[in-house]
Structure 1
Amino acid sequence: MTVEVAQLAEDLIRVGFFPPGRPPDYRSAAVAGEWEPLARLEPPGGVRFEVLEPAGAGIGDLLGPPLRVVMPRREGERFFGCGERTAGLEKTGSRQIFWNYDPPEGHTASLNNLYTSIPFVLSLAGGVCRGVFVDNPGRVEMDLAKADPGEVVYETATGNLVYYVFTGPTPAAVLERYTELTGRVGLPPLWALGNQQSRWGHVSADEVRSVADGFRSRGIPCDVLYLDIDYMDGFRVFTFDEERFPDPAAFIASLAEDGFRVVTIVDPGVKVDLEYPVYVEGRERGYYCRTFGDEEYRNVVWPGLCAFPDFTNPAAREWWGDNHAALLDLGVAGIWCDMNEPSLFVPAQSTMPADVVHPGGGEPRLHAQVHNLYGSGMAQATREGLARLRPDRRPFVISRAGFAGLQRHALQWTGDNSSWWEHLWMSLPQLQNLGLSGMAFCGVDCGGFFGDSNGELLARWTEAAVFQPFLRNHSQMGTVPQEPWAFGEPWESICRDMLLLRMRLLPYLYGAFEEASRTGAPVMRPLLFEWFEDEVTYTADDEFMLGDALLVAPITRPGIEHRHVYLPAGTWVHWWTGDVVAGPAHVLAHAPLGRPALYARANAAIPLWPERMHTGEPVDRLTLRVFAVPSADVVTRELYEDAGEGFGPSSRRSVTVDAEAVRVSAPVGAFAPAPRVVEVEVVRGGAAVVTEIGDGAAEITLR
């Protein structure tokens, strides 16, 4: 066997472990850019490298033997991250499986792996953070001090084990380096941060138009409407059904006039149909996966018998991306990649067999070796296609499945959850762990997908979801409708008020995304991301930070309106009442419906826009809200602005608040917003004083 250790940066080490007879190979779809070693190192002491018995004759011989690395656990070390997971934030004492899987309806916290695999673990011990990323797109398992409390074990099933060690020492430093290695989220278009509505079961243009009218007539904000699989002609990708959507261009244009973008679902299965040009072209060019006997691999999904593109082939990815012109030419704004684990119907809840061949454009690999990459490859092909076809717009791509590095190509939606209170709770640590794994743009189906929601559940879920990076209400055909007005009052008004608050918070949220695009910092982050020396934050996983200045603690159980909230070190101000709390502190927060427990960091300027129905409406006012507390820390925050679309100029200005004054700098940068009122709103003791300042530098005395 071969073990190579290289220093790639001051805080980054790469270890390559290869079985006998296999030369070192560090090529990776997960890694962004080229990384040349700064120095060669000796294998680390105390680490065991083990070659295991192969799976058996046949395909096992081709894959090579499984490999295992055993590391000593640091004293008191606790583990987090691991990408899309169930259960709580902390993963200490667990065995994590990384193998993309479309789980059955109603999965619980006992299910380990889901749709996306990111074998990256972040750990804390003694206030020092470390990270480990196992770069293998086949099956990976991590034993995080479960079998032996003194050991951490990483295993691969396909015969290569390359891993990266990030030495921190803070969570922010680990995430910054990890997202430099695997790539960072691109700044999304502003409209992608607005409210979005979807349902499997809106089977005609008239039904979708009715939903759009429902939002506008009721004064409820919405930016995006989705078309699930029923818009297609016999579920053939890149087509529209001529009867149910007879004039898609006019339909999409009419929605655009009312401020709605349209996002369409696209699945990887291409219907086997010799009269269908997409299938025929892919077959003629050899772009589909093959059986081990070198026939076209086929299985059944929504269109019936299908072939599946080989996304390991760059030419196939380019072809797939270019096919999106059929949708973009009609006015479609973004693409939703689904079923891309890949999920297959025969047998039910299955995926491709291990011996399916990905020809790779000349570098064939077995599916067992690249399974977790399939979704990422589809997302990459889609994003690159959108970028070629519309180079002046920021691509908007959603993916259900993927591997580490997916954040470069798409946002992560967590798949088919259920309309359960338990799934509302589970979404909070789930999204926080995704954020700790580089996936800054993520979200869940608000209200739940499977099963019937109800008014209280939808209202409480909306209270949580408006503070999450991706906000979309989505549900299954055959369940009760769950649009914000579906359950009548008081639920409709509660949802409306929360969605209006989301619209007000968009400049703050947009700034958090800009930070993520530069540093990899999560948009929705666990408290331990900043207060990592405070071990109380390690288990406070039903509350979170949105950006650096808002702490959110949703209600996740029915029939209650009080909850425990842990406020870490610093000074916090209750958003609704103005009450000031000095942390660290445990408080019992009153959170009646429509007033979730929301705290602002004292002296942190929160930019707000007016209430609007969609992001296309003009912004005539920018408010910098400051919860001023003279005894609190001095806080400087940056306001980032650009056009919200495209790749044009931007500007930044700082807002510093201390005991004496609010000081706003002049903008730096070429972006010039439309004429508007700019004001500072100083909130003290529940009372607000508003001062107009204009778009230049200003200073407002607080004493």
Structure 2
Amino acid sequence: MRRFHVLFISIVLWIPFSGVAQNNYISHTFDGKQLIVCTDSGEYVLSALQGKAFKLSFANKRVYSNKIYAPVERGVKELRLTESKTELILSSAEVTVHLGKSPVSIRFDYRDEVKLTGLEFAVSGDTTIYQYRMKSDEKIYGTGARALPLNRRGYRFQCYNQANYGYGMGADFLNYSIPLIMSSEKYMLLFDNPARAWFDIGKRDVDRFSFESLGGNATVYFFADDSYDKLVSDYVKFTGMQPMPPVWALGNLQSRFGYKSQMQTENVVDSMLQAGYPMDAIILDIFWFGPQIQDGVMGNLSWDSIHWSEPERMIRKFRDQGVKTILISEPFFTKKSKHYTYLDQHGLFGKNADGTTMTLPNFYFGEAGLLDIFNPEAGDWLWQQYDALKQQGVEGWWCDLGEPEIHPDSMIHVNGKASEVHGIYGHNWTKVFYDHYRKEYPDERLFVLGRAGYAGSQRFGLIPWSGDVGRTWSGLRAQIPVMLGMGLSGLAYMHSDAGGFASGTKNPELYTRWLQYAVFTPVFRPHSDSHAEPEPIYYADSIQDIVRHYIKLRYAMLPYNYTLAWQNHRSGEPMAKPLFMVCDDPELSANDSIYFWGDNLLVAPVMRSGTGAQKVVLPEGTWYDFHSGELIEGGRTIDVPVTLSDIPVFVKAGSFIPMISPVQSTDDYKTDTLIVHFFPDPERKASNFIMYADDGHTFGAYEKNQYELIDFTYKNGVFTVKNSGYNYPGRPQKRLLKFVVHQPDFEKVKINRTWIKPEIKEKTTSFIVNLPANRTNEMQTR
């Protein structure tokens, strides 16, 4: 019924482009920073904000635009205004806005290049609409998590966070929508409106874009820049930078639905470690607070003492093993839970129109109330429950069902109806964690998983995942566009339940391919329902050997991956990038089955059963096979033979890839010994890579000058290692570096006036140096 209901609404809301009631200019005022234009339908307000955003809002007696949800608030810039009979022209240093008078229609130019024309605002009944004409060859990306091609043009779908159980490729709605688009014309539009809404990107009319919402905040922000990297960076800086996660977030985070007792959980952790799998966390699903699923005690937020008799001892044991404990919680409180009465009596649930608690009788887990997360008193109360668990040693948090999964439009929150604020529920839930950590644990990094949020949730440290994906090949194929789409929307840590969560039977081939892919994603977290074990120890030895190798590779790549986390924190650039973002090649815009992991690695996961050869599009340039070291010319599509042991991964020529010997836990991660792989570019003499290091757990280490940068450079036969930065706990005074050059190019290396003979193999040349970690060091080769 829900799907038929949504389809009906979307048909009613569609309004032909030519049929929109037009706004005609009456008058305007301008104070040097803000232009207010009065029309016969309402009032437009335009301003340029500090940074690179241009703000446009519309308001009248029925429409408001005074809310700020996604942006980090900032001041406005000085502007210039000129006027003619037909238009007002508003200019900042780089952006010019042309506002036509009759009817009112808006054009955005960036550095004299027309980016967007004919932007109009209209109201039809309870629906508000922003719309304009796209260029004929324009591609539209973003919009959050969608199991659709990266180019969303030709689709119509809801912008509304909602669960999609067992989905696969083709699902146009998932748990995390973002009211943001990025154009191939290198501009972005952010509609700062969390209300129920729809995107129509050339579905009804091939050249028409529209954002249609059921009321809500009628404000849109425009960004433009010279490259995709800069554009994403502008947007992320505007909505808030992602804090550095704890380094253990990049390790193996083992999960399932769900571990039912302390004994079972301890057995799994011990067995994983004994089998030689690196591991950094164990994640406990709903059974930690009760044995029942339906009609249970969701909302207790305390241990089921029958099945978890000594949780603090268990947590300490895991911590001594390098394994952190993460607990799930939900915003729903069933009537059988011990907190329901208190929350009901204190008015901390979402309400009916008469002020009474709205109960949800059809909630899967039992009749329940939904916490009004927007109520500061509710947030403070919730934090008290979390803090008590933190005192027991819990180190990470898992926020589930935070769309919220059931959220009637008529529910009343302290800040409005559910239909208007639905999109920021998960956003505010994450903010509760972030604000209290900053107040009570200011030096500690937050780890919080959430499957729903809003534009800008990254600034609260949210680690999103892609929901209850089907355990199918289609579910696996959906993950690349979901991950890349979210990265372009500012959420760089999107990842999946590795192995697949729902439906489908246990499939060793699918499991292996999914975990191989997950090694090259922001978070590695195997998870599944009860029909297929997510832990590798329950698979055949042949599968275990492959998976163990890849998990160890994940740990070996910690220096590279942690640097990607820093790059994201510093500039907002995604960790995983679509081909067109790195190569800026329009021909690659349709490819969403291959992606860059950072700027140096190209990953082509195997996503179909029985694949014996994989077609891989290699961009222009020279590439190395990551596994074999084979040198390959790009600018073409190649067939790569594959076995179950590996997926195709390629290294861009000229790359440094710093690595370590695998460790059992990130507790053991140190940078005093590095294995630095270098892949020379035959066409380029100079190469460099800047690696980031800090203590891995201090919040704001980069801003507090508690970090170092290690700049690896190769030019004209000379390797240079330049250290800069500051002291931090654990910073090594010396570093042992093993350089592995992926060509047997030279016979001698000069170190401190002494020539040494490197180790020369068929495809590599290696040499080891022990260097002070506080100065520039050079190694000459010949």
After TM superposition, the score normalised by the length of structure 1 is 0.92
* Structure 1 equivalent of residue 124 of structure 2: 53
Distance 1:33 1:657 in 2: 43
Asked if the contact 1:485/1:491 (under 8 Å) is kept, the reply is no
Q: Does 1:101 align with 2:152?
A: no
| Cα pair 2:156 2:198 within 8 Å, conserved | yes
Alignment check: 8 A CA contact 1:32 1:182 kept: yes
Q: Which residue does the alignment assign to 1:461?
A: 514
Instruction: Specify whether residues 35 and 590 from structure 1 end up closer, same or farther in structure 2 by C-alpha distance, changes over 3 A only.
Output: farther
Alpha-carbon deviation of 1:538? 0.7
Tell me the secondary structure at the aligned position of residue 622 of structure 1.
strand
CA distance in 2, matches of 1:665, 1:48: 50
Which residue of the partner structure matches residue 329 of structure 1?
Answer: 391
- Is the counterpart of residue 450 in structure 1 residue 502 in structure 2? yes
- The residue aligned with 2:780 is 701
User: Sequence identity of aligned pairs in percent?
Assistant: 26
How far apart, CA to CA, are the structure 2 residues paired with 1:201 and 1:667? 46
Name 2:731's counterpart in structure 1.
673
Contact kept, 8 Å, 2:260 with 2:307, in 1: the verdict is yes
| Structure 1 residues 588-642: Cα deviation after superposition (integer angstroms, max 9, x where no partner) | 2233222221111222211101111111125352122111234336322111100
Verify: 1:602 aligned to 2:660, yes or no: no
- Check if 1:246 corresponds to 2:309: yes
Instruction: State the Cα distance separating 1:352 from its structure 2 match.
Output: 1.8
The amino acid across from 1:465 in the alignment is A
Q: 2:171 aligns with which of 111, 119, 124?
A: 111
How many Å separate the matches in 2 of 1:74 and 1:35?
Answer: 32
Shift of 1:315: 3.4
Contact 1:629 1:684 in 2 (8 A): no
User: What does 1:168-567 align with in structure 2 at a 5 Å threshold?
Assistant: 168-233=225-290, 234-272=297-335, 276=338, 278-300=339-361, 301=363, 304-343=366-405, 351-360=406-415, 365-409=416-460, 410-451=462-503, 452-477=505-530, 479-532=531-584, 534-567=585-618
CA gap of 1:35–1:471, structure 2 versus 1, over 3 A, is farther
Other structure's SS at 2:49 match: strand
Distance 1:317-1:29 versus aligned 2 partners, 3 A rule: farther
Provide, for residues 237-282 of structure 1, a one-character-per-residue CA deviation record: whole Å limited to 9, x for no partner. 4200001101110011111111110100010012335x83x44543
Answer with 491-500 or 584-593: which moved more: 584-593
CA distance in 2, matches of 1:394, 1:248: 23
Aligned equivalents of 2:628, 2:119: Cα separation in 1: 56
SS of the counterpart of 1:665? strand
8 A contact 2:193–2:217 mirrored in 1 = yes
Q: How far off its partner does 1:293 sit?
A: 1.8
- Rounded Cα–Cα distance in structure 2 between residues aligned with 1:320 and 1:633: 57
* CA-based RMSD: 2.0
Which string of whole-angstrom CA distances, capped at 9 and with x for unpartnered residues, describes residues 25-69 of structure 1? 1x2222123343543735324525343332xxxxxxxxxx31112
Shift, 1:20, TM fit = 3.9
2:184 aligned residue (121, 124, 133):
124
AA of the residue aligned to 2:673: R
| C-alpha deviation, 1:390, in angstroms | 2.8
Residue 285 (structure 1) shift? 3.9
The match for 1:5 among 46, 52, 75 is 46
- Of 489-498 and 666-675, more deviation after overlay is shown by 666-675
* TM-aligned CA deviation for residue 116 of structure 1: 1.1
- Provide the rounded CA distance (Å) in 2 between the counterparts of 1:38 and 1:641: 40
**Structure 1 position 23, deviation (Å):** 5.4
Q: Which amino acid aligns with 1:12?
A: A
CA-to-aligned-CA distance 1:473-531 (integer Å, 9 cap, x gap): 00112x02131132212111000000000000011111001110111100111111121
Residue 428 (structure 1) shift: 0.9
Between the aligned partners of 1:152 and 1:229, the Cα distance in structure 2 is 42
**Is 2:711 the counterpart of 1:654?**
yes
Closer, same or farther in 2 for the Cα pair 1:379/1:11, shift >3 Å? Answer: closer
Deviation at 1:699, TM superposition (A): 2.0
Letter paired with 2:568: A
Are the equivalent residues in 2 in contact too, given 1:98–1:141 (CA < 8 A)?
yes
SS at match of 2:634: strand
Partner Cα distance (1:37, 1:135) in 2: 20
Distance 2:121 2:61 in 1: 11
> Partners of 2:684 and 2:308 in 1: how far apart?
58
Q: Secondary structure at the match of 1:319?
A: helix
Aligned to 2:135: 74
How far apart, in 2, do the equivalents of 1:448 and 1:516 lie? 27
1:66 maps to a residue whose letter is T
Whole-Å separation in 1 of the counterparts to 2:73 and 2:685: 40
* Deviation of 1:667 (Å): 3.1
Aligned length: 673
Kept in 1: contact 2:157–2:199 (CA 8 A): yes
Q: Secondary structure in 1 aligned to 2:327?
A: strand
Structure 2 residue matching 1:626: 3-state secondary structure: strand
State the SS of the aligned residue for 2:316: helix
Whichever of the two has the greater Rg, that structure is 2
Task: Give the equivalent residue in structure 2 for 1:59.
Answer: none
> What's the counterpart of residue 62 of structure 1?
none
3-state DSSP of counterpart to 2:379: helix
CA contact (8 A) 2:181 2:188 kept: yes
Tell which has more relative contact order, 1 or 2 (C-alpha 8 A, sep 6+).
1
Q: Give 5+ residue unaligned stretches, structure 2.
A: 1-41, 82-89, 91-97, 100-105, 108-116, 291-296, 745-762
Counterpart of 1:82 in 2: which secondary structure? strand
Q: Residues 666 and 159 from structure 1, CA distance in 2 versus in 1: closer, same or farther, beyond 3 angstroms?
A: closer
Q: Unaligned 5+ residue runs, structure 1? A: 55-64, 344-350
Name the structure 2 match of 1:60.
Answer: none
Q: Does the residue aligned with 2:619 lie in a helix, a strand or coil? A: strand
CA distance in 2, matches of 1:453, 1:2: 59
SS where residue 547 of structure 2 aligns? helix
Q: Per-residue displacement from partner, 1:409-441 (whole Å, max 9, x unpaired)?
A: 211111101111111111011101110100011
